[in-house]
Homo-oligomer: A and B are copies of this chain.
């Protein structure tokens, strides 16, 4: 039901030859493209396989389940977010301001491909997978709030993770059509101001 053991989680090990890396890339690309249209339902394993030019069995060798495939796609999206943040770091003065900045940037990114976003978020939540998602997002928030992962106290870790949880929830509500972008921004700001107040290098409260 999960396991991405012998298969490379990311740009990692396991794929011996160049053609295997390319296959993997083609698969991920096909999956993302399909999900960008009809969402999860359009991203059928047969279709992904066909579009990637591999046999169904091969697809399952690379990604033991649809979920694993989705998780991999999400991973790539997260990579992109992180590099975007590295390129143009959030400029706000306060830690919570920077966190909001990052989350809303991610929100905009996801809104560009709502079907994809829907598929990804839901799959992520469903995943049995030890998904490095919550952790990754929390780490990211800690970092932009001004703490290099290691230096954070437990409480700060919890607070960053909490803000991440709130964001995910709001995203889900948006996908259900119950939030606008502005709603999310306002709500995330409220939550962030409480959760991230008094962080190091915080605002003058």
- Give min CB distance, A52 to chain B, whole Å: 26
- Give min CB distance, A23 to chain B, whole Å: 30
A194 with B159: CB separation less than 8 A: yes
B126 with A191: CB separation less than 8 A: no
CA A133 to CA B65, docked complex, whole Å: 29
The count of chain A contact residues (Cβ–Cβ below 8 Å) is 28
CA A162 to CA B190, docked complex, whole Å: 10
CA A176 to CA B186, docked complex, whole Å: 31
CA A158 to CA B162, docked complex, whole Å: 14
Which residues of A (123-169) have their CB < 8 Å from a CB of B? 125-126, 128, 130, 134, 155, 158-159, 161-162, 164-166, 168-169
Q: Answer whether residue A105 sits at the interface, using C-beta atoms and an 8 A cutoff.
A: no
* 29 A-B interface contacts by CB (under 8 A): A122-B125, A122-B126, A125-B125, A125-B126, A130-B176, A130-B178, A134-B169, A134-B173, A155-B190, A158-B186, A158-B187, A158-B190, A159-B190, A159-B194, A161-B187, A162-B162, A162-B169, A162-B187, A162-B190, A162-B191, A165-B166, A165-B168, A165-B170, A166-B166, A168-B169, A194-B194, A194-B195, A194-B197, A195-B195
